[in-house]
Chain A
């Protein structure tokens, strides 16, 4: 995507021919310039006074934050202050944010919203391949596929230009979509499997069963390139297709058909998305799909493979450079002494001063303002009041803080709760790199000047760090300078960026990490010869199905699942400020099968309340004949008492700490006429 500016006129968007989007954009892209000049844009710091948030000078705002952070650190120790980042920030900001937390604040309490997005896929890829790169192949490779299985992904709405890569496969009848909903993506599929929400893991096991039974195992590949099949099979053997059929509702014949199509294809891919991942068993679910891919010999073979689809703009890079609770730059583990040593040397500090792993995103939010939890939180690039599960609890925790600082471009729902709001630059106003879903590093150039009064995230971190006594040169404000340091910190790590330079990117080089040195051409397909484990082999992980954390019962007989719609992005803080997008999707709705709606006396367009044990969300009924009768769908882009996350279940995955966004037990009620907002009341 590019941006054109004319003297004095408003900036406008132009589509750039680029491998991932192939020159295509959806309505979110076309309208993204609207936000650059939006009246909703924040242009001055705000500080809470007795009458609410009031404009303040940058110095006053930053001085206040620094004083409060110093006081709270003194009273409660370094872990008394916390940081929350985002997967939409540039690599440079992610990197400096992690450094700021560990060095300037000395806190272990840092995590980011990618925990709610990619963490299950990342954990599963790491344990299978020894490396987590969303797609370990260029996205354009998908065009030559005969068969593609999309497990829990709806790119036709969440990433429309990506559909162009699926089109050749879809046109020739090779697209298989696994989704409880009949999405626009599923409409393109030759075969659409509709498992009950929370049962994808069982489905993957059932298909693996068919692979074994029908003689599709790639025995040579298993012997040469993998370990652990026997144990994984033993766990899967208890999930024969007929048993899986009962649990998932997916016919044995369909399970067998998927196995047969994958096995019979010359080029086949399995791609997972949030539908598979956002569960309390998300990591195991992705492992089950990876096991299936390995059994068929797909990963690490030219023209085939497995990958996961990234959710946020910098979802990949965002999880590589140290804003995750257990990570240091270069995708290094904060527990690894050698990694600590290396990064501490780059940062010029004693490795012993680096904190250890901190709380994961939901656990961090859940602990705010509690007896042993942080008293202050700095939020960059995230709208946790809307995007975190069990919103009522999260809002209460945010309110219990002594200091909440939010750096954002608009007054998001989280910013509205803050003590200090800092107006920061957005995409076209700030240079920096992003790493896309195929592990390719992209340079984003500054195209327009930010509005007066707005500072970059890097400048904000610089201002805060120096006020805490850090040397100025330790927190540069120039993205290229930060990147030069990031290259050193990432050198030799799993995500090795050492050979990536702004000059190479400016020259148009396509660099997929790892890029160990400046002569290295990058690694578009890292697994062709070996996987990243020391023995070079991929590992099967034995996994078994278990039911959702919260089963339905007589009081909460329906399953709620959440997701995105085309017109909005994430918490909607940005897209709800763009007229064209609001016009397309103006209000919160709930998709309900007409029979289910009728049983509840609800007509199309009626106001309803979806109730769980944790809260109530108001939504307009949308009759959806293709919906499952036992499931309702809630988009998560809307604020206030329309937040889907008022009802979601914060049950966490034991490995990735991903909350169970995709399934919880609810009931449906007619909304009381013109009642007061009732978000806070638990059911």
Chain B
């Protein structure tokens, strides 16, 4: 049987991951022949790490996903700079910009999404491309472009106070730019945070040098000058970074007549309405996946690779448990679940801790001892454990306060005062020696710590108890003196 021809449209994080997962299951191409069409030249990179590139802490080279020659070594026909133009679902071919028609047994759309430029006057030219001094924050090229202008003191405005906009803003602040975030909604990250958390977050980021214009919309952009807002105020900007959401790149799928819902609709096998056409990543719409995140795309690639190679015909994608994590140095924010639940709602158990002065806020919504939603801001330990409990559906400890604070409060330090230490207390764990045994050894003639040690072996193991042993010897000597 000749291998099945799989054509992947899109050589980004989703498309290349799928090629990789296919080759992990079918290393020699016996089951599946893989062709990847990438519209943009240049290697695929890890978009999650772009805030680091923007902050200057990661190099562009360090975020590339696969080395030169990787595709060839893995029998993957990677065609960079080849744009897919049309799908002929009847003939099962995909046409490219250079006129070729590539036949497929299965076609996978992994075209991703493109940034949405708000319809603000002056932001984009007549052809829809960003105006001079306006850059979307989406690609590695965008990142390098912004980095080139991001010198200390340069005024830069970020449009959009969502996850990506705030990551960009914080990265630019690391570089010393004068950053202002313009956000049209009443509080930051409104999809993930409640009002109070949004306010605490704004305060925390302000301390890191980011300024905010919240609840304001950009009305007009003047290149080289800045933004005029809807309240008539002016924000200076040598550069405007747009992070106002994305839209799925669905052109090909729409032209092929596939059903849409903000993206190409797929089922649990990642199949579109056409039996030979699949979609994964940001271009796909599955009820259990949140677009814009890499984890759903990778989990989808895993499932689809099992299906396309036939190595796991039962594989199904059931959705991804999403935990939102802001990658912003100095600000630790995690959100999960439906966080806007009213804490007074009787159905759920909800706890809240608010410490805006120190940039801390915690909200924990529980049902049946399980985390249903949480916001953890400025509480890194609590964030880690809440996300772990949530992801793995593990019941949380009874001590809710400990969960809210992250680390359980340290237990009261055991009494180390030789006088008040209980007789039954173990002094030397390595040799199981209690205080009572030491006292007995003293009575039978031991006169200092060394002799106590020689008689009982206390302190001869790991040595941790030696200070306490000396203390006990001193206390015993003192008691003896008193008695005489």
Q: Determine if chain A interacts with chain B.
A: yes
Q: Which residues of A contact B (CB under 8 A)?
A: 15, 23-27, 30, 155-156, 160-164, 167, 184, 188, 196, 212-215, 230-231, 233-234, 237-238, 240, 242-243, 245-246, 248-254, 552, 566-567, 580, 584, 593, 595-596, 598-599, 625, 629-630
* Identity of the chain B residue whose Cβ is nearest the Cβ of A193 in the assembled complex: B384
Best-surrounded residue of B52, B57, B332, B463 (most CB of chain A within 10 A): B463
Across the interface, do B325 and A245 meet the contact criterion of CB distance under 8 Å?
Answer: yes
Contact A238 B429 (CB under 8 A): no
A98 to chain B, nearest CB (A): 35
Whether A250 touches B384, Cβ cut-off 8 Å, given contacts A240-B49, A245-B325, A584-B432, is yes
Q: How far is the CA of A245 from the CA of B431 in the complex (A)?
A: 38
Q: Is the CB of B323 closer than 8 A to any CB of chain A?
A: yes
Q: From B295, B332, B463, give the contact of A163 (CB < 8 A).
A: B463
A246 to B386, CA, bound (A): 9
B56-76 to A contact mask, C-beta < 8 Å, 1/0 = 011000111111000000000
What are some 21 contacts across the A-B interface (CB < 8 A)?
A24-B462, A27-B461, A156-B464, A160-B461, A163-B463, A233-B62, A234-B64, A238-B46, A242-B325, A243-B295, A245-B383, A245-B388, A246-B325, A249-B385, A250-B384, A251-B383, A252-B380, A254-B380, A599-B395, A629-B394, A630-B392
Cross-interface CB contact of B462 among A160, A196, A230, A580, cutoff 8 Å: A160
Task: Let me know if B396 is at the binding interface, CB within 8 A.
Answer: yes
Known contacts A251-B380, A629-B396; A161/B332 CB under 8 A: no
Q: How far is the CB of B94 from chain A (nearest CB, A)?
A: 28
Leading 6 A-B pairs by shortest Cβ distance: A163-B462, A249-B388, A160-B461, A253-B380, A251-B384, A160-B462
**Residues in chain A near residue B120, CB distance under 8 A:** none
Question: Cβ of B463: which chain A residues have Cβ within 8 Å of it?
Answer: 24, 161, 163-164, 167
A212-B58, A230-B67 known; A156 vs B381 contact (CB < 8 Å): no
Contact A163 B391 (CB under 8 A): no
Please name all residues of chain B whose beta carbon is closer than 8 Å to the beta carbon of A15 when the two chains form the complex. 460
Contacts of B332 in A (CB 8 A): 251-253
What is the 8 Å Cβ interface bit string for chain B, positions 38-53, against chain A (1 contact, 0 not)?
Answer: 0000000010110010
User: Within the assembled complex, what's the spacing in Å between the Cα atoms of A468 and B49?
Assistant: 66
Does B234 belong to the interface (CB within 8 Å)? no
Do residues A629 and B388 form an inter-chain contact, with CB atoms below 8 A? no
Residue of chain A at shortest CB distance from B399: A595
Q: Are A25 and B46 in contact (CB under 8 A)?
A: no
**Contact of B85 with A by CB under 8 A:** no
Verify A27–B431 contact, CB threshold 8 A. Answer: yes
CB neighbors of A among B335-353 (8 A): none
B429 contacts across to A, CB distance below 8 A? 156, 184, 566
For B432, list chain A residues within 8 Å (CB): 27, 567, 580, 584
Q: What's the nearest-Cβ distance from chain A to residue B449, in Å?
A: 15
Q: Are B388 and A234 touching (Cβ within 8 A)?
A: no
Pair A196/B388 contact, Cβ less than 8 Å: yes
List the interface of chain B (C-beta within 8 A of A): 46, 48-49, 52, 57-58, 62-67, 295, 323, 325, 327, 332, 380-381, 383-385, 387-388, 391-392, 394-398, 406, 408, 411, 429-432, 457, 460-464
Decide: A27 near B57, CB < 8 A? Known: A231-B67, A252-B384, A595-B395.
Answer: no
**Neighbouring B residues of A237 by C-beta, 8 Å:** 46, 49, 62-63, 65
Report Cα–Cα, A680/B144, bound state, in Å. Answer: 64
Q: Is the CB of B461 within 8 A of A630?
A: no
Cβ contact within 8 Å between A164 and B462: yes
Given contacts A24-B463, A26-B430, contact A234 B57 (CB under 8 A): no
| CA–CA, A566 and B464, complex, Å | 15
Other CB < 8 Å A-B pairs besides A242-B327, A598-B398, 13 of them? Answer: A24-B462, A25-B457, A160-B430, A161-B463, A167-B462, A212-B62, A213-B57, A246-B325, A246-B387, A566-B429, A595-B395, A595-B397, A629-B395
Give complex CA distance A167, B323 in Å: 40
Residues of B contacting A27 in the complex (Cβ-Cβ under 8 angstroms):
430-432, 457, 461
* Given A156-B464, A245-B384, A249-B384, CB of A30 within 8 Å of CB of B457: yes
Known: A251-B384, A630-B392. A26 touches B67 (CB 8 A): no
Contact between A163 and B464, CB atoms less than 8 A apart: yes
A118 to B397, CA, bound (A): 35
Complex: chain A residue closest to B46, CB-CB: A237
Q: Which A residue sits closest to B58, measured CB to CB?
A: A213
Select B431's contact among A30, A163, A212, A253, beta carbons within 8 Å.
A30
| Set of chain B residues within 8 Å of A598, measured between Cβ atoms | 398
Residue in B57, B429, B462 with the greatest tally of chain A CB atoms within 10 Å:
B462
A184 CA / B465 CA spacing, docked (Å):
12
Interface residue from A26, A196, A580, A593 paired with B461 (Cβ < 8 Å): A26
A251 to B295, CA, bound (A): 19
Bound: A155/B432 CA distance, A: 16
B431 touches A26 (CB 8 A): yes
Shortest beta-carbon distance from A59 to chain B in Å = 44
| Contact A24 B395, CB 8 Å, known A230-B67, A245-B387 | no
Residues of A within 8 A of B63 (CB): 237
> Among the interface residues A155, A156, A240, A242, which one has the most CB atoms of the partner chain B within 10 A?
A242
Q: Which residues of A contact B462 (CB under 8 A)?
A: 24, 26, 155-156, 160-164, 167, 184
Q: Are A251 and B406 in contact (CB under 8 A)?
A: yes
Shortest distance from the beta carbon of B56 to any chain A beta carbon, whole Å: 10
Asked if B67 and A246 sit within 8 Å, CB to CB, the answer is no
Complex Cα distance, B383 from A584, in Å, reads 39
| B-chain residues with CB within 8 Å of residue A24 when the two chains form the complex | 460-463
Chain B residue with the shortest CB-CB distance to A159: B462
Chain B residue numbers with a CB within 8 Å of A234 are 64-67
Cβ contacts under 8 Å, B49 to chain A: 237, 240
Measured between beta carbons, the chain A residues less than 8 angstroms from B387 are: 245-246, 249
Query: Among the interface residues A167, A240, A249, A566, which one has the most CB atoms of the partner chain B within 10 A?
Result: A249
Identify the closest chain A residue to B295 (Cβ).
Answer: A243
A230 to B61, CA, bound (A): 10
Chain A contacts for B57, CB-based, 8 A: 213-215
| Residues of chain A with a CB closer than 8 A to B464's CB | 156, 163, 167, 184, 188
Specify which chain B residues have a CB less than 8 angstroms from the CB of A580 in the assembled complex.
432
| Residue on B nearest A192 in the bound complex, by CB | B407
**B19 vs chain A, min Cβ distance (A):** 15
- From the candidates B381, B391, B396, name the one contacting A246 in the complex (CB within 8 A): B391
Cα A240 to Cα B58 in complex, Å, equals 12
A156 — which chain B residues lie within 8 A by C-beta?
Answer: 429-430, 462, 464
| Whole-angstrom CA separation of A248 from B457 in the bound complex | 40
B385 touches A25 (CB 8 A): no
Chain A residues with CB below 8 A from B392, complex form: 196, 552, 630
A246 partner residues in chain B, CB cutoff 8 A: 323, 325, 387-388, 391
Residues of B within 8 A of A214 (CB): 57
Asked if A566 and B430 make an inter-chain contact with CB atoms under 8 angstroms apart, the answer reads yes
B397 touches A593 (CB 8 A): yes
CB neighbours (8 Å) of B460 from chain A are 15, 23-26, 30
Q: Report B-chain residues with C-beta under 8 Å of the C-beta of A160.
A: 430, 461-462
Cα A230 to Cα B327 with chains together (Å) = 24
Query: Using Cβ atoms and an 8 Å threshold, which residues of chain B touch A242?
Result: 325, 327
The distance in angstroms between the C-alpha atoms of A298 and B325, with both chains bound, is: 32
Query: Nearest Cβ distance between residue B78 and chain A, in whole angstroms?
Result: 16
Closest to B390 in A: A246
CA A625 – CA B412 in complex, angstroms?
A: 13
Listed residue (A23, A253, A254) with the most chain B CB atoms within 10 angstroms of its CB: A253
Which chain A residue lies CB-closest to B406?
A251
